[in-house]
Amino acid sequence: MSSRMRTALFLISALGLAAIFGLGFRNLPPVGDYRGPYGNVVSQVAVYERHATDVVNAINYDYRACDTLGEEFILFASVLGVLLIFRPSPAKDEAKGKKKGEKRPPQVEDELPISDTIRVGMMAMAGLMIVFGVYIAVHGQLTPGGGFQGGVILASVPLVVYLSGNVKAFDKIVSTPLIKLAEFCGAAGYAIIGTSALFFGAHFLTNIVPLGTTGDPFSSGTIAVISVAVGLEVTGGFVLLMEVYLREVIDERLENES
């Protein structure tokens, strides 16, 4: 189909869809008038039943933990997929080998030196971010935060190191087997925690660890444990993605540096 026909077809359909959305959304309760039972009930009971003050994470890692298990594995599958698609192929290595002899033409970023402010500032930020990320990941059951958010913050740390110009350090961080270990253990860990509940005679993903006192860092049972597992997995996943995407660039820059 030519691009004109395609656009025309879409515009006609969009008019129809807009009408459909209009008719349908008109019957939604007005914004601000939330009536449904789920939110009201869970806000009342979550603190007492699970000794967790952050109800959102109580839902994520306890009431609806099965959903989060699935979502975590979607992340895992996507990372595996990227690794699969970017896997080294013999044809590509051959082409690379030929290129090794040639020198890459000088690029703009090679010429501009990175200022000391950025370099020092970024390294300082990296340290701060690690602490902050761990804090967010570990306190999921008490304050807004949890594994997903903390994991993303932690995963930005190598990126900050890269931006400070220290490619060697970046390469060392992202190539350690610890990253892969973190990712796979985080993923398997969630499922194993769920399965361990079966051995105690309860259903899958029941909260079997003692609940502790509300407000304590080590409260709410498996919510905290699952949150940490998810944090590990998200960190590992995003760092692996970064490594795979930047591999060629890192190799070239390391070569040019040496």
* Binding to another protein in span 174-193, by CB under 8 A: 180-181, 184-185, 187-188, 191-192
Under rule CB under 8 A, residue 7 binds another protein: yes
Hunting for tokens 């969630």 — which residue is that?
190
List the one residue from 164, 166, 207, 220 that touches another protein (CB under 8 A): 207
* Least distance in angstroms from the C-beta of 113 to another protein: 29
* Least distance in angstroms from the C-beta of 195 to another protein: 5
Size of the site for another protein (CB under 8 A): 109
CA atoms within 13 A on the CB side of 90: 0
Under rule CB under 8 A, residue 144 binds another protein: yes
The answer to whether 139 and 222 are in contact (CB under 8 A) is no
| Packing angle of the helix pair 222-257, 167-175 (nearest 10 deg) | 140
Residues 19-78 close enough to bind another protein by CB under 8 A: 20-39, 41-48, 53-57, 59-60, 62-78
Q: State the Cα–Cα distance between residues 152 and 132, nearest whole angstrom.
A: 11
* Least distance in angstroms from the C-beta of 109 to another protein: 20
Count, residues in the chain: 258
Q: State the Cα–Cα distance between residues 86 and 82, nearest whole angstrom.
A: 6
Binding-residue pattern over the window 71 to 90 for another protein, x denoting contact by CB under 8 A: xxxxxxxxxxxxxxxxx-xx
